[in-house]
Chain A
């Protein structure tokens, strides 16, 4: 039995310490993802806290055939959508509403000469496609796991990953042409 499964069983039996150990490795990864989808750093922290509480409370419904991270992300995505409400489902709209100074994602990006692609992705892609891209390229999840996390078919996931890539490649090529034009 793996260490993770032992911790899961202990947590199912009611051990909060075991659950805290179990999710320690996932907290920063989840927070990073939630930060790209929240209006503020505090909101991202709140969603992370709610996600972990919900995961502990409903741990009995976790199916060990899934990867634990897949299950956690599924809860996190639902919680993030609930916090933002139906009027702000489109991340692109949300990005337009923010200014760069108050954008928690911009604040957390290390200084670099090149733009962070995830900022562009948030403006170019819709909510679900953005999440699929993140799970694929930031979390290295398989298409199958992404489908389970987003509750979508594998074909939907493949098609939308391709669309997301095309949109970003087109954006990158446009930016490159523009920089060449300006010399």
Chain B
């Protein structure tokens, strides 16, 4: 106990009090005039028979089974979209025609360049007198 605690404890003891005989008589007379209130009876817990546990368990299991059964029974009703024929859905492409269409202009350009090259070659031969 530290110094402050010790002083507080000692100072409390230095407060001198006494229950006087007159107060003692008053208190005893008051207590005799009072009747303690009876303890309020708490509602007794309801004793459930063992059958109650089985009944509640079976009811719970039956309910769970019913929910699962209903869920599965309704499942086929759901209208699924018809299977899509992927092959039919994709338009067929004529690969040869496509190739020809894509390379045609390049071929023409190449022919023109070769023709210009040949003309230029002949002109040079003429200029140098060959």
Report A's interface with B, CB cutoff 8 A. Answer: 11-12, 14, 16, 19-20, 27-28, 31-32, 35-36, 45, 48-49, 52-53, 56-60, 105, 108-110, 112, 116-118, 121, 133-134, 137-138, 140, 165, 168-169, 172
Contact = CB atoms under 8 A, between A and B. Distances in A.
Interface of B: 4-5, 7-9, 11-20, 23, 26-28, 30-32, 34-40
Given A49-B23, A53-B34, A137 B15 contact: no
Contacts of A165: 4
Contacts of A27: 19, 27
6 contacts: A35-B17, A49-B23, A116-B11, A133-B8, A137-B8, A168-B8
Main secondary structure of the interface of A (DSSP, over half): helix
A20 B28 CA distance: 7
B32 A16 contact: yes
Nearest to A19: B31
A71 to B, nearest CB: 14
Nearest to A137: B8
A49 B36 contact: no
B15 A172 contact: no
B30 A60 contact: no
A138 B31 contact: no
Contact of A118 (B8, B34, B35, B39): B8
Given A45-B23, A138-B9, A169-B4, A32 B17 contact: yes
A57 B39 contact: no
A66 B17 CA distance: 27
